[in-house]
Protein backbone atom coordinates (compact mmCIF):
# COMPACT_ATOMS: atom_id res chain seq x y z
CA UNK A 1 0.00 0.00 0.00
CA UNK A 2 1.28 3.46 -0.85
CA UNK A 3 2.39 5.52 2.09
CA UNK A 4 0.01 8.31 2.98
CA UNK A 5 2.05 11.52 2.72
CA UNK A 6 -0.73 13.65 4.15
CA UNK A 7 1.70 15.61 6.39
CA UNK A 8 3.52 16.54 3.20
CA UNK A 9 0.54 18.69 2.23
CA UNK A 10 1.08 20.63 5.44
CA UNK A 11 4.79 20.97 4.60
CA UNK A 12 3.88 22.35 1.17
CA UNK A 13 1.79 25.08 2.78
CA UNK A 14 4.52 25.94 5.28
CA UNK A 15 7.16 26.03 2.56
CA UNK A 16 5.05 28.32 0.38
CA UNK A 17 4.40 30.69 3.27
CA UNK A 18 8.15 31.26 3.69
CA UNK A 19 8.85 31.92 0.01
CA UNK A 20 7.45 35.42 -0.36
CA UNK A 21 9.91 37.24 -2.62
CA UNK A 22 9.10 40.60 -1.05
CA UNK A 23 10.09 39.25 2.38
CA UNK A 24 13.49 38.36 0.97
CA UNK A 25 13.98 41.74 -0.69
CA UNK A 26 12.61 43.83 2.20
CA UNK A 27 15.86 43.73 4.16
CA UNK A 28 17.61 45.72 1.38
CA UNK A 29 14.72 47.89 0.20
CA UNK A 30 14.60 51.59 1.04
CA UNK A 31 11.97 54.20 0.39
CA UNK A 32 13.05 57.32 -1.51
CA UNK A 33 13.71 60.21 0.88
CA UNK A 34 13.04 63.92 0.60
CA UNK A 35 14.49 66.42 3.04
CA UNK A 36 14.56 70.20 3.32
CA UNK A 37 18.16 71.49 3.34
CA UNK A 38 18.37 74.90 5.06
CA UNK A 39 21.68 75.82 3.41
CA UNK A 40 20.19 75.30 -0.03
CA UNK A 41 16.79 76.57 1.00
CA UNK A 42 14.96 73.83 -0.83
CA UNK A 43 13.82 70.21 -0.59
CA UNK A 44 16.30 67.68 -1.94
CA UNK A 45 15.42 64.13 -3.07
CA UNK A 46 17.73 61.16 -2.49
CA UNK A 47 19.57 59.78 -5.50
CA UNK A 48 20.31 56.16 -6.43
CA UNK A 49 23.72 54.86 -7.44
CA UNK A 50 22.87 52.64 -10.41
CA UNK A 51 25.69 50.22 -9.66
CA UNK A 52 24.44 49.59 -6.12
CA UNK A 53 20.64 49.97 -6.24
CA UNK A 54 17.80 49.86 -8.68
CA UNK A 55 14.33 51.36 -8.52
CA UNK A 56 11.77 48.62 -7.97
CA UNK A 57 7.96 48.80 -7.83
CA UNK A 58 6.75 47.30 -4.52
CA UNK A 59 3.63 45.17 -4.03
CA UNK A 60 1.68 48.17 -2.68
CA UNK A 61 2.42 50.28 -5.77
CA UNK A 62 5.16 52.38 -4.18
CA UNK A 63 8.70 52.58 -5.53
CA UNK A 64 11.65 51.31 -3.46
CA UNK A 65 15.38 51.73 -3.89
CA UNK A 66 16.52 48.11 -3.92
CA UNK A 67 19.89 46.47 -3.44
CA UNK A 68 19.96 42.88 -4.70
CA UNK A 69 22.12 40.54 -2.64
CA UNK A 70 23.08 37.73 -5.04
CA UNK A 71 24.01 35.07 -2.42
CA UNK A 72 20.63 35.54 -0.69
CA UNK A 73 18.85 35.36 -4.04
CA UNK A 74 20.61 32.09 -4.89
CA UNK A 75 19.58 30.57 -1.54
CA UNK A 76 16.01 31.69 -2.22
CA UNK A 77 16.11 29.99 -5.62
CA UNK A 78 17.21 26.69 -4.04
CA UNK A 79 14.41 26.87 -1.46
CA UNK A 80 11.92 27.67 -4.20
CA UNK A 81 12.96 24.60 -6.21
CA UNK A 82 12.65 22.46 -3.08
CA UNK A 83 9.09 23.70 -2.54
CA UNK A 84 8.24 22.97 -6.19
CA UNK A 85 9.51 19.40 -5.69
CA UNK A 86 7.24 19.00 -2.64
CA UNK A 87 4.23 20.20 -4.62
CA UNK A 88 5.06 17.84 -7.50
CA UNK A 89 5.18 14.87 -5.10
CA UNK A 90 1.88 15.96 -3.57
CA UNK A 91 0.19 16.21 -6.99
CA UNK A 92 1.49 12.77 -7.97
CA UNK A 93 0.04 11.27 -4.79
CA UNK A 94 -3.32 13.00 -5.31
CA UNK A 95 -3.44 11.61 -8.86
CA UNK A 96 -3.17 8.05 -7.56
CA UNK A 97 -5.04 5.28 -9.35
CA UNK A 98 -6.79 2.01 -8.55
CA UNK A 99 -8.55 1.55 -5.22
CA UNK A 100 -7.03 4.73 -3.76
CA UNK A 101 -8.89 6.71 -6.39
CA UNK A 102 -12.22 5.49 -5.01
CA UNK A 103 -11.53 4.81 -1.32
CA UNK A 104 -8.52 6.97 -0.59
CA UNK A 105 -5.62 5.45 1.32
CA UNK A 106 -6.84 2.95 3.92
CA UNK A 107 -4.63 3.77 6.89
CA UNK A 108 -6.40 1.94 9.72
CA UNK A 109 -5.54 -1.59 10.88
CA UNK A 110 -9.12 -2.74 11.55
CA UNK A 111 -11.42 -1.97 8.62
CA UNK A 112 -15.15 -2.30 8.03
CA UNK A 113 -16.63 -1.66 4.58
CA UNK A 114 -20.27 -0.65 4.12
CA UNK A 115 -21.66 -1.17 0.61
CA UNK A 116 -24.85 0.56 -0.55
CA UNK A 117 -26.73 -2.20 -2.40
CA UNK A 118 -30.10 -0.48 -2.57
CA UNK A 119 -32.39 -1.09 -5.51
CA UNK A 120 -31.47 2.25 -7.09
CA UNK A 121 -27.94 0.93 -7.59
CA UNK A 122 -28.88 -2.04 -9.77
CA UNK A 123 -27.54 -0.18 -12.81
CA UNK A 124 -24.20 0.31 -11.03
CA UNK A 125 -23.83 -3.08 -9.40
CA UNK A 126 -20.82 -3.95 -11.57
CA UNK A 127 -19.16 -0.67 -10.66
CA UNK A 128 -19.68 -1.34 -6.97
CA UNK A 129 -18.34 -4.88 -7.29
CA UNK A 130 -15.28 -3.59 -9.11
CA UNK A 131 -14.67 -0.99 -6.39
CA UNK A 132 -14.73 -3.57 -3.59
CA UNK A 133 -12.68 -6.10 -5.60
CA UNK A 134 -9.73 -3.75 -6.13
CA UNK A 135 -9.98 -2.64 -2.50
CA UNK A 136 -9.67 -6.27 -1.35
CA UNK A 137 -6.76 -6.87 -3.69
CA UNK A 138 -4.75 -3.70 -3.14
CA UNK A 139 -5.35 -2.47 0.40
CA UNK A 140 -7.04 -4.98 2.71
CA UNK A 141 -4.61 -7.86 2.31
CA UNK A 142 -2.11 -6.37 4.78
CA UNK A 143 -4.63 -5.27 7.42
CA UNK A 144 -5.11 -6.84 10.83
CA UNK A 145 -8.80 -7.63 10.36
CA UNK A 146 -11.84 -6.63 8.32
CA UNK A 147 -15.52 -7.17 7.66
CA UNK A 148 -17.98 -6.20 4.93
CA UNK A 149 -21.58 -5.08 5.47
CA UNK A 150 -24.07 -4.61 2.64
CA UNK A 151 -27.35 -2.79 3.00
CA UNK A 152 -30.52 -1.91 1.19
CA UNK A 153 -33.63 -1.74 3.34
CA UNK A 154 -32.09 -4.59 5.33
CA UNK A 155 -28.55 -4.93 6.61
CA UNK A 156 -26.43 -8.03 6.00
CA UNK A 157 -23.04 -8.56 7.57
CA UNK A 158 -20.63 -11.05 6.00
CA UNK A 159 -19.38 -12.10 9.44
CA UNK A 160 -20.72 -11.38 12.92
CA UNK A 161 -17.31 -10.05 13.94
CA UNK A 162 -14.22 -8.89 12.12
CA UNK A 163 -11.91 -11.61 10.82
CA UNK A 164 -8.20 -11.72 9.91
CA UNK A 165 -7.25 -10.44 6.45
CA UNK A 166 -6.11 -13.78 5.09
CA UNK A 167 -6.19 -14.77 1.44
CA UNK A 168 -8.94 -17.30 2.16
CA UNK A 169 -11.15 -14.71 3.90
CA UNK A 170 -10.63 -12.13 1.16
CA UNK A 171 -11.59 -14.68 -1.49
CA UNK A 172 -14.63 -15.83 0.52
CA UNK A 173 -16.00 -12.33 0.99
CA UNK A 174 -15.56 -11.61 -2.72
CA UNK A 175 -17.64 -14.66 -3.63
CA UNK A 176 -20.25 -13.58 -1.07
CA UNK A 177 -20.47 -10.05 -2.51
CA UNK A 178 -20.97 -11.39 -6.03
CA UNK A 179 -24.12 -13.18 -4.85
CA UNK A 180 -25.66 -10.04 -3.29
CA UNK A 181 -28.36 -8.27 -5.31
CA UNK A 182 -29.32 -4.59 -5.24
CA UNK A 183 -32.84 -4.38 -3.77
CA UNK A 184 -35.26 -1.99 -2.06
CA UNK A 185 -34.33 1.13 -0.07
CA UNK A 186 -31.22 2.70 1.47
CA UNK A 187 -31.15 2.16 5.25
CA UNK A 188 -27.81 3.86 5.84
CA UNK A 189 -28.45 4.52 9.52
CA UNK A 190 -29.04 0.84 10.31
CA UNK A 191 -25.82 -0.10 8.49
CA UNK A 192 -23.86 2.51 10.43
CA UNK A 193 -25.33 1.26 13.70
CA UNK A 194 -24.30 -2.29 12.83
CA UNK A 195 -20.73 -1.23 12.11
CA UNK A 196 -20.16 1.38 14.80
CA UNK A 197 -21.79 -0.53 17.64
CA UNK A 198 -19.83 -3.67 16.78
CA UNK A 199 -16.61 -1.67 16.93
CA UNK A 200 -17.63 -0.07 20.22
CA UNK A 201 -17.80 -3.53 21.80
CA UNK A 202 -14.30 -4.44 20.69
CA UNK A 203 -11.48 -3.51 23.05
CA UNK A 204 -8.46 -2.86 20.87
CA UNK A 205 -5.60 -0.42 20.66
CA UNK A 206 -5.50 -0.82 16.88
CA UNK A 207 -6.68 2.03 14.69
CA UNK A 208 -10.19 1.49 13.33
CA UNK A 209 -11.88 2.74 10.20
CA UNK A 210 -15.31 2.41 8.59
CA UNK A 211 -15.56 3.04 4.84
CA UNK A 212 -19.03 3.79 3.47
CA UNK A 213 -19.58 3.54 -0.30
CA UNK A 214 -22.93 5.01 -1.27
CA UNK A 215 -24.64 6.64 -4.24
CA UNK A 216 -27.02 9.00 -2.49
CA UNK A 217 -28.81 10.29 0.57
CA UNK A 218 -30.01 7.92 3.33
CA UNK A 219 -33.69 7.09 3.68
CA UNK A 220 -33.46 8.60 7.17
CA UNK A 221 -33.18 12.30 7.96
CA UNK A 222 -29.60 13.43 7.47
CA UNK A 223 -29.55 15.36 10.73
CA UNK A 224 -30.30 12.19 12.71
CA UNK A 225 -27.67 10.17 10.86
CA UNK A 226 -24.98 12.84 11.31
CA UNK A 227 -25.79 13.29 15.00
CA UNK A 228 -25.53 9.56 15.64
CA UNK A 229 -22.17 9.32 13.85
CA UNK A 230 -20.80 12.32 15.69
CA UNK A 231 -21.78 10.87 19.06
CA UNK A 232 -20.28 7.46 18.31
CA UNK A 233 -17.04 8.57 16.69
CA UNK A 234 -16.27 11.33 19.19
CA UNK A 235 -16.16 8.80 22.03
CA UNK A 236 -13.94 6.22 20.30
CA UNK A 237 -10.77 5.99 18.26
CA UNK A 238 -12.81 5.44 15.12
CA UNK A 239 -12.95 7.17 11.73
CA UNK A 240 -15.86 7.12 9.27
CA UNK A 241 -14.85 7.77 5.66
CA UNK A 242 -17.57 8.40 3.07
CA UNK A 243 -17.14 7.60 -0.64
CA UNK A 244 -19.85 9.01 -2.91
CA UNK A 245 -20.29 7.37 -6.33
CA UNK A 246 -22.57 9.02 -8.88
CA UNK A 247 -23.51 8.40 -12.48
CA UNK A 248 -23.22 11.02 -15.20
CA UNK A 249 -26.83 10.76 -16.36
CA UNK A 250 -28.43 10.76 -12.92
CA UNK A 251 -29.83 13.92 -11.39
CA UNK A 252 -29.89 12.20 -8.02
CA UNK A 253 -30.11 8.69 -6.66
CA UNK A 254 -32.33 9.08 -3.63
CA UNK A 255 -36.05 8.43 -3.24
CA UNK A 256 -38.74 10.94 -2.40
CA UNK A 257 -39.15 12.67 0.00
CA UNK A 258 -35.34 12.73 0.35
CA UNK A 259 -34.70 13.98 -3.18
CA UNK A 260 -31.48 15.97 -3.45
CA UNK A 261 -29.23 17.27 -6.17
CA UNK A 262 -25.69 15.98 -6.55
CA UNK A 263 -24.27 19.04 -4.84
CA UNK A 264 -26.73 18.81 -1.94
CA UNK A 265 -25.93 15.12 -1.56
CA UNK A 266 -22.19 15.78 -1.62
CA UNK A 267 -22.52 18.55 0.95
CA UNK A 268 -24.56 16.36 3.30
CA UNK A 269 -22.29 13.33 3.01
CA UNK A 270 -19.22 15.50 3.40
CA UNK A 271 -20.70 16.72 6.67
CA UNK A 272 -21.26 13.10 7.67
CA UNK A 273 -17.59 12.28 7.07
CA UNK A 274 -16.59 15.39 9.02
CA UNK A 275 -18.74 14.26 11.96
CA UNK A 276 -17.01 10.87 11.80
CA UNK A 277 -13.48 12.33 11.84
CA UNK A 278 -12.97 10.96 8.34
CA UNK A 279 -12.44 11.87 4.71
CA UNK A 280 -14.96 12.47 1.95
CA UNK A 281 -14.39 11.41 -1.67
CA UNK A 282 -16.64 11.86 -4.69
CA UNK A 283 -16.23 10.01 -7.95
CA UNK A 284 -18.34 9.38 -11.07
CA UNK A 285 -18.74 6.25 -13.13
CA UNK A 286 -16.47 7.80 -15.79
CA UNK A 287 -13.70 8.50 -13.30
CA UNK A 288 -14.18 12.26 -13.42
CA UNK A 289 -13.85 14.56 -10.46
CA UNK A 290 -16.76 16.56 -9.10
CA UNK A 291 -16.42 19.93 -7.45
CA UNK A 292 -18.83 20.77 -4.67
CA UNK A 293 -18.84 22.99 -1.62
CA UNK A 294 -16.78 26.10 -1.22
CA UNK A 295 -13.81 26.03 1.11
CA UNK A 296 -15.76 27.67 3.92
CA UNK A 297 -17.83 24.65 4.95
CA UNK A 298 -16.05 22.28 7.32
CA UNK A 299 -13.04 21.33 5.31
CA UNK A 300 -9.94 22.13 3.37
CA UNK A 301 -10.26 20.68 -0.12
CA UNK A 302 -7.62 18.74 -2.00
CA UNK A 303 -8.19 18.36 -5.73
CA UNK A 304 -6.93 15.60 -7.98
CA UNK A 305 -7.72 14.60 -11.55
CA UNK A 306 -10.38 12.00 -10.81
CA UNK A 307 -11.58 12.63 -7.29
CA UNK A 308 -11.70 15.34 -4.71
CA UNK A 309 -11.02 14.58 -1.10
CA UNK A 310 -11.74 16.61 1.99
CA UNK A 311 -9.37 16.41 4.90
CA UNK A 312 -10.83 15.27 8.22
CA UNK A 313 -11.25 17.80 10.96
CA UNK A 314 -8.46 18.19 13.46
CA UNK A 315 -8.87 16.25 16.74
The pLDDT-based confidence of 292 (bands split at 50, 70, 90) is: very low
Q: What is the pLDDT of residue 94?
A: 64
Q: What is the pLDDT of residue 246?
A: 85
3-state helix, strand, coil in the chain (%, to 5): 40, 20, 40
Please state, in angstroms and rounded to a whole number, the distance separating the CA atoms of residues 32 and 168.
78
Q: What is the pLDDT of residue 3?
A: 44
Q: Is 238 helix (H, G, I), strand (E, B) or coil?
A: strand
CB atoms within 10 A of CB 197: 10
Helix (H), strand (E) at residue 90: helix 70-94
Q: What is the pLDDT of residue 249?
A: 53
Q: What is the pLDDT of residue 9?
A: 54
**Taken in order 174, 176, 182, 187, is the CA torsion positive or negative?**
negative
* Rounded alpha-carbon distances, angstroms, from residue 161 to 32, 48, 136, 176, 238: 75, 79, 17, 16, 16
Per-residue pLDDT at 80 exceeds 70: yes
Please state, in angstroms and rounded to a whole number, the distance separating the CA atoms of residues 144 and 284.
30
Please state, in angstroms and rounded to a whole number, the distance separating the CA atoms of residues 36 and 255.
80
Please state, in angstroms and rounded to a whole number, the distance separating the CA atoms of residues 144 and 204.
11
Over the stretch 222-264, which tens digit does the pLDDT of each residue have?
A: 999 999 999 988 877 789 999 999 875 554 455 544 567 888 8
Helix (H), strand (E) at residue 230: helix 222-234
Look at residues 225, 200, 227, 223 and name the one whose alpha carbon lies nearest to residue 212.
Answer: 225
Over the stretch 23-71, which tens digit does the pLDDT of each residue have?
A: 778 888 888 777 777 777 777 776 766 667 788 888 888 888 888 788 8
How confident is the prediction for the chain on average, in pLDDT? 80
The pLDDT-based confidence of 140 (bands split at 50, 70, 90) is: very high
Residues constituting the chain = 315
Could you give the domains of the chain?
A: 6-94 (no CATH), 99-310 (3.40.50.410)
Q: What is the pLDDT of residue 156?
A: 96
Over the stretch 163-222, which tens digit does the pLDDT of each residue have?
A: 999 999 999 999 999 999 999 899 999 999 999 987 666 667 889 999 999 999 999 999
Query: Mean per-residue pLDDT for 280-306?
Result: 49
Per-residue pLDDT at 151 exceeds 90: yes
Please state, in angstroms and rounded to a whole number, the distance separating the CA atoms of residues 28 and 64.
9
Query: Mean per-residue pLDDT for 115-144?
Result: 93
CB atoms within 10 A of CB 31: 11
Amino acid sequence: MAEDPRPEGYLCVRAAQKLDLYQLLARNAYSPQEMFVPVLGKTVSSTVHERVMVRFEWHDGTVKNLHVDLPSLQKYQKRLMGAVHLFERRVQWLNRTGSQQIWGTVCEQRVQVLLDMSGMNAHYQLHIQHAIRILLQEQLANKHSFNVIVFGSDVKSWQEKMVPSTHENLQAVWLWIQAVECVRGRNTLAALRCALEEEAQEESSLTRGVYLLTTGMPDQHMVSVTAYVSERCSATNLNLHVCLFTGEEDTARCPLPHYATRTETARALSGLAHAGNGRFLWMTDTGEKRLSMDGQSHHSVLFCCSVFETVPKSP
